[in-house]
Each structure stands twice: as C-alpha cells, then as structure tokens.
Amino acid sequence: MSGHRIAVIPGDGIGKEVVPAGLEALHATASRFGISLQLDEFGFASADYWQRHGTMMPADWEETLRGYDAVFFGAVGWPEVVPDHVSLWGSLLQIRRTFDQYVNLRPCRLMPGVRSPLADREPGDIDFVVVRENTEGEYSSVGGRVFEGTERETVLQETVMTRTGVDRVLRFAYEQAARRPARHLMSATKSNGISISMPYWDERVAEMGGRFPDVRVDKLHIDALAAQFVLHPDRFDVVVASNLFGDILSDLGPACAGTLGIAPSANINPERDHPSLFEPVHGSAPDIAGQGIANPVGQIWCASMMLEHLGHPEAAAHLLGAIEDVLALGPAEAPLTPDLHGKGTTVELARAIADRVRERSPI
C-alpha cells in the first residue's frame, strides 16, 4: 500500500464540474489497485476566492502546496469577475513558475469512437505529444508601457530564453522521442521572422541533438507546422515548442483529434523538487459552464497521467484503457457529451468510465 497526498483545486466554471468527475475515476482506479490517496480540496485559484479576498491565492499558498505529491487542477479564469491576465498570473502561471514545472506535456490522440473533423482520419493517424516549454519564453512579465495616453504610447513585452531553460525542455523532449518507436522530434520555430530568440532556439535544438543520435529531428516554422497538423497529423511523434507556440499547438492538435474536451496536460517538474500539476488543456468554458455537459475525459486522462507520475504505470494504463473502451462505444452506445456528438452529461460519462475501471480486466 502506497499513500500519496494530492491537492485538489477545481478553480472556475467547468473546472468545478470536471474535477469531481476526474476524482470519481481516480478513486475507482486507486481502490482497484490498492493505492491510498489523501485528497485535500482548496477553493483558491478561483474567481470566488478573488471576490472574497481580493487575491487569487493566499499568501502562504506555496508552503501549503509544497507539502503535496501532486496537484490535481481544473481550470481557472472567469473574465466577468477578474481580468484573465490578473487571474492567471495570480494563480496557474505563478504555480508553474514557482514550482519550476518547466515541461508541459500534452498528449494528443485520435481515440477509437471519436470523430476527427479532418476527412478520412482514423485512430493511429493522430498520436503525438506536444512538449511545451512552460516557465519562460513569450510568457514573461518583462516589459511595460511608456508614454501612456499620448501619441507616443509604446508597449513592450520581452521574450526570455535562457540556456538552462531551453536546454532542459529540449532534453526532456529528446528523451521522450528516444523512448517512442518512431523516434522523431519536430521542433516548432519561427527563425525567419523572430530573428533573435528563434535562431537561438534552433541552435540549441541542433546542439542537443548531438546527444541523441537515434532521434531524427526536423524543424518547421510554426505557421507551416500548424498547417501540417491539419493536413498530415500522421507526420508527428514528439513536437517541442516554446511556451506560446506550444500553447497554440496544444489546442489545435486536440481539435484535429475530435475535441479539446479530452485533452490532458501535465505540468512537470522532472527533478521532483516540487509537486507537478495535472490539468486538462481546456479552460473554464464559460459558454457551457453550469449546464452539466462538459466533457470530463480531459480531466480523467489527467488522473491517469498523475498516477503514472506517482509511480503507478499499471493503474495509469488501466484508467486510460477504461477511457478508450467507453469512447470506442461511440455516441449511440455510451453517454458521450455533446462535443463528442452524444447526449450524455459530465456525470453520466464519468460514471461510465468509473464503472469500466471496475469491470475491465487489468492489462
């Protein structure tokens, strides 16, 4: 029996709907595999907390979360109440940076039973991971406004690339590629237009490649790469990208693979000096929040990634297998949510997956 302490932060909007769904599947899997979990739920990193306290997180958030083995996170952002840059820099982005979660690992797979909006694409055609740099790059708070309110008003925001920051995420991406059968790494660049930081990124990609002779590496400018996601998603195995490019690709990929609603992500501190954070790729989806129809699969897949990270690969694979089994039934047989062309609810789909966790034989 192994025990893990997990901090649970539902956040805003559909975060509050998909997190309980994720926990149901997590509990079913943990009890099947004899894994003991201690879960503590926190209400901060939400617009409700902001309304009560005027900040997104308590002053001691870092000490509080540091004691956990992982954070299971929903989504944050409710622009009607607090501007997005304030809520995100006051919570999720601060957590990623403070805990040095410099890898954002975002798998993208066309699952059996899920329809891709791309013509004639089948499971197997889309199966790649995006490795997104997660603590620097275009997401910097370096910059500012000058001459405000005048004709000379000027706004600057710097991209920051450090050798340590770039190399460590590239190393992780090459290691991922080296472990996969295709052993291919695609680097997202834009060194034709972004003339300082992106040529540097390309140099570091080439340099790091010297340590991974078994990995084939290519690069594409981000504009062409985005087009290739749509035209030839089968070309991709591991994609490594800067913070902003990785953000965009990790919404585009899941959209090509049917829906953003099933996409998971792991914000990882590979050295394990700090807890890693597991959250779906999607946000709080104000347009569907409160209707009970959010797809819980992204959050449930996060539970699988978290179990893997915590050292339970069999439990993780079992849970992912249960997700696949239920999706494969299709909207006629399973309570799939509307984004998967079904009529099911968040609760019904989560229940079906948790039931499947209990029923299916271990791998």
Shortest reach from residue 88's CB to ligand IPM, in Å = 4
Contact 280, 298 (CB under 8 A): yes
- Of the candidate residues 26, 71, 92, 306, the single one contacting ligand NAD (CB under 6 A): 92
307 contact choice in Mn ion, ligand NAD, ligand IPM, none (CB below 5 to 8 Å, kind-dependent): none
Pick one of ligand NAD, ligand IPM, Mn ion, none as the site partner of residue 237 (Cβ within 5 to 8 A by kind): none
Q: Can you tell me the distance from the alpha carbon of 306 to that of 266, in angstroms, rounded to the nearest whole number?
A: 8
Q: Which of 243, 284, 304, 345 binds ligand NAD (CB under 6 A)?
A: 284
Q: Determine the Cα angle at 315 with ends 314 and 318, to 5°.
A: 85
Rounded to the nearest whole angstrom, what is the least distance from the CB of residue 286 to ligand NAD in the complex? Answer: 6
Q: What is the closest distance, in whole angstroms, from the C-beta atom of residue 87 to ligand IPM in the complex?
A: 9
261 binding ligand NAD? (CB under 6 A): yes
Residue of 133, 247, 308, 348 that binds ligand IPM (CB under 6 A): 247
Q: Which stretch binds ligand NAD (CB under 6 A): 113-121, 159-167, 285-293, 315-323?
A: 285-293
State the CB neighbour count (10 A cutoff) for residue 52.
11
Which is nearer to ligand IPM, 280 or 335 (by Cβ)? 280
Does residue 138 touch ligand IPM according to CB under 6 A?
Answer: no
Closer to ligand IPM at the Cβ: 24 or 247?
A: 247
339 binds ligand IPM (CB under 6 A): no
Q: Which of 30, 82, 88, 222 binds ligand IPM (CB under 6 A)?
A: 88
Examine residue 283 and tell whether it contacts ligand NAD (CB under 6 A).
yes
Is residue 95 at the binding interface for ligand IPM, with CB under 6 A as the rule? no
The reply to whether 303 sits near ligand NAD by the rule CB under 6 A is no
267 makes contact, choosing from Mn ion, ligand NAD, ligand IPM, none, with CB < 5 to 8 Å by partner type, with none
* Tokens encoding 26: 């997590």
Q: Which of 47, 177, 281, 289 binds ligand IPM (CB under 6 A)?
A: 281
Stretch that binds ligand NAD, among 36-44, 212-220, 235-243, 288-296 (CB under 6 A): 288-296
3-state secondary structure the chain: CEEEEEEEEEECCCHHHHHHHHHHHHHHHHHHHCEEEEEEECCCCCHHHHHHHCCCCCCCHHHHHHCCCEEEEEECCCCCCCCHHHHHHCCHHHHHHHCCCCEEEEEEECCCCCCCCCCCCCCCCCEEEEEEECCCECCCCCEEEECCCCCCCEEEECCECCHHHHHHHHHHHHHHHHHCCCCEEEEEECCCCCCCHHHHHHHHHHHHHCCCCCCEEEEEEHHHHHHHHHHCHHHCCEEEECHHHHHHHHHHHHHHCCCHHHCEEEEECCCCCCCEEEEECCCCCCCCCCCCCCCCHHHHHHHHHHHHHCCCHHHHHHHHHHHHHHHHCHHHHCCCCHHHCCCCCHHHHHHHHHHHHHHCCCC
How many chain residues are in contact with ligand IPM, going by CB under 6 A?
A: 6
Among 126, 222, 285, 302, binds ligand NAD (CB under 6 A): 285
Q: Which residues bind ligand IPM (CB under 6 A)?
A: 77, 88, 93, 247, 281, 283
Give residues in contact with ligand NAD (CB under 6 A). Answer: 14, 18, 75-77, 79, 84, 88, 92, 260-261, 279, 282-288, 294-295, 298, 339
